[in-house]
Amino acid sequence: MAAIVLLVAFVIVIIGYKFYAATIDRDIIQANPKKATPAVMYNDGVDFMPASGSVLFGYQFKSIAALGPIVGPIVAVQWGWLPAFLWLMLGVFFIGWVQDYASAMLAMRNEGLTMGGLAYKFISPRARGILLAFLYFYLLLIMGAFGAVVAGLLANPVVPIGLLILTLAGVLAGQMTYRWKMDLVMTTIITVLIALIGIWIGTTGPAQNIVNWINGLAGSGAKHVLYNTPYGPMTWPVFFWGIVALAFCYLGSVLAIWRFAQPVNYVSFWFVALGVVGSVLGVFIAALFHTTNISFQVPAFVTWNQPKLGWLWPMLFVTISCGAISGWHSLVSTAGTARQLEKETDALPVGAGAMFTEAVLATLSVIFAATALTKGNTIIYDAQHLYGLKIGAGGVWMYGMARFLSWIPGISPAMGGAIGAIFLAVMALTVMQLVLRFMRVASAELVGDKIPAFKNPHVGSIVAIFFTFLILWTAFWQRIWVLFGGANQLFAGLALLLVTIWLANEGKKHAWAFWPAVFMYVTTVAALLVVAWKSFRAMFAANTSAAFIFGNAVAGLIGLFLAIAALILAVDGLKSLAKARAKAAAHAGD
């Protein structure tokens, strides 16, 4: 059954890309390979810089695919594997690729403007301010939530050394491509090989001993705990590796895009792609191997109302915050990719292609979460048993990847587990560097005129890092994690609304962007209001501590703020859309 689910996913994404997306690109957007792009017109060697479509596909995929397409689907399987799979397929087919591709085209056709600039141009000055404030807080949620996970992953002895060598291989790739002008294929082979060897070195005894020595600098046992937070103990490894992760992000934020962020993400893409392809092959090999059996342990449908998560609608659609649709992708497409695309015709394979690929990755997450793998009478993998061990969604992914990769000759379950751990760290950390980069851009746009220091990339980055440290070191991220999915999906609705207004201004068909925007808006605002209501209600539960009351109060206020900000933007946006439609109708009547 698992192999059939994967085959269905492949068929759907191929049809979506080859027919629906290609038709929109050809008949409505009409991408022009001869039209000068912002990367060519404003080439500054920092943010605007033409790049190969092949490089940008790897950059785009690795920049949009973080922990969302892994954690979200695994958690959502608690409603049943079929609702999760259906939302992934329907979401990416009708909404996900639309946002990623159209956002890139929107920015390219408007001189590489960011989301703040686009909101100012197409909605109103007020919309720009609200959107930038919303954006900054939304990005801070990502930094806090992902940062805590990454710090824990880096504390794993098999991860840091391999990740360091992979990073150096990425920096080398940038130098070879843009300074030494070497062939891209040769550059890719050399740097990816270095990265893979580095990852293997990280699993060896001497490399792990180095990490274990660092992890033990504060002692063991009770000494291992630096201090207690309202949400649990803060250990030395999480504290230390959190600093390392943010130092990595600082380099990605302040260095020219070609020196660090783009090539590191490009080399990381090949490692991630090999992991995904290997896992897919493992699923098919296990399905065809006569001594094994893959069975879905989770029913196709479990319940409409999951006790911890809530009602299937609207909560499923924000729990799976990537793989189907994600607002983060519009930021990558506008402030990142659109400023590097050399030709408009590259936007379809880069924007839409990467999104459809992410949907396959998310489908693997559903399979890892819902299945059991048996050989004879022996259970060798059971996701639901792993859940009982309370290892979390990340643990389910690591064990699932380890077991299915072990069907590939030469890969042991232990090596598969190491690959799975590094896979998760790479997925999160390479996105976090872009989050910090976009945070300093947003702060420069929001307050740069009043406080000129924020126009300095180092100042904006350091301030964002300071706020992230507050969340990480107090463990407050555990209270706001649930809001990340809502903020993320709400931003997708905002991006689709901007695309709709732009299309209407151009006199082009826009229903294909408008109705997805409506669905995302209504669904996400409903989810945020549910979260706010639950948080406020929890404040008055019996035997609650002051920290618990404070955490729920802040979570509830954040949820309300995001919902109200979204409604204000929707009102202003719909007014702008009405004006654009009236203008187009007047021109049509001339």
DSSP code per residue over 446-498: HHTTTSGGGGSHHHHHHHHHHHHHHHHHHTTHHHHHHHHHHHHHHHHHHHHHH
* Per-chain mean pLDDT for the chain: 88
Range of the structural domain that residue 212 is part of: 2-589
**Number of helices and strands in the chain (H, E):** 25, 7
Residue 587 has pLDDT above 80, yes or no: no
Residue 231 has pLDDT above 60, yes or no: no
For 434, the token pair is: 């872009």
In sign, the C-alpha dihedral spanning 185, 187, 188, 190 is: positive
pLDDT at position 544: 67
- Residues 295-314 pLDDT 10s: 888 889 999 998 888 899 99
DSSP three-state, residue 191: helix
Half-sphere exposure of 113 (CA within 13 A, CB side): 17
Residue 87 has pLDDT above 80, yes or no: yes
DSSP three-state, residue 203: coil
Residue 480: pLDDT band with limits 50, 70, 90: low
DSSP three-state, residue 69: helix
Residue 86 is part of a domain; what is its CATH number?
Answer: 1.10.4160
pLDDT at position 276: 92
Instruction: Calculate the dihedral angle through the C-alpha atoms of 403, 409, 411, 412, rounding to the nearest 10 degrees.
Output: 60
56-90 as b/e: b if 16+ CB within 10 A: bbbbbbbbbbbbbbbbbbbbbbbbbbbbbbebbbe
Residue 590: pLDDT band with limits 50, 70, 90: low
pLDDT at position 510: 95
pLDDT at position 222: 61
Q: What mean pLDDT comes out for the span 441-452?
A: 88
Domain count, the chain: 1
Residue 253: pLDDT band with limits 50, 70, 90: very high
From 39, 31, 32, select the one nearest 56 (Cα to Cα). 39
Are 17 and 7 a contacting pair, CB within 8 Å? no
- Residues 179-190 pLDDT 10s: 999 999 999 999
DSSP three-state, residue 234: strand
Q: What percent of the chain has pLDDT over 70?
A: 94
Instruction: Calculate the dihedral angle through the C-alpha atoms of 82, 87, 93, 98, rounding to the nearest 10 degrees.
Output: -170
pLDDT higher at 491 or 377: 491
Give dist(CA 590, CA 587) in Å, integer. Answer: 5
Give dist(CA 422, CA 158) in Å, integer. Answer: 8
- Residues 326-362 pLDDT 10s: 998 998 999 889 999 999 999 999 999 999 999 999 9
pLDDT higher at 40 or 477: 40
pLDDT at position 542: 66
Give dist(CA 59, CA 337) in Å, integer. Answer: 8
Q: What mean pLDDT comes out for the span 454-483?
A: 78
Strand partners, 14: none
- Residues 359-405 pLDDT 10s: 999 999 999 988 887 877 777 777 766 665 566 778 888 888 888 89
Are 79 and 312 a contacting pair, CB within 8 Å? yes
Are 312 and 304 a contacting pair, CB within 8 Å? yes
Q: What percent of the chain has pLDDT over 90?
A: 52
Give dist(CA 446, CA 21) in Å, integer. Answer: 34
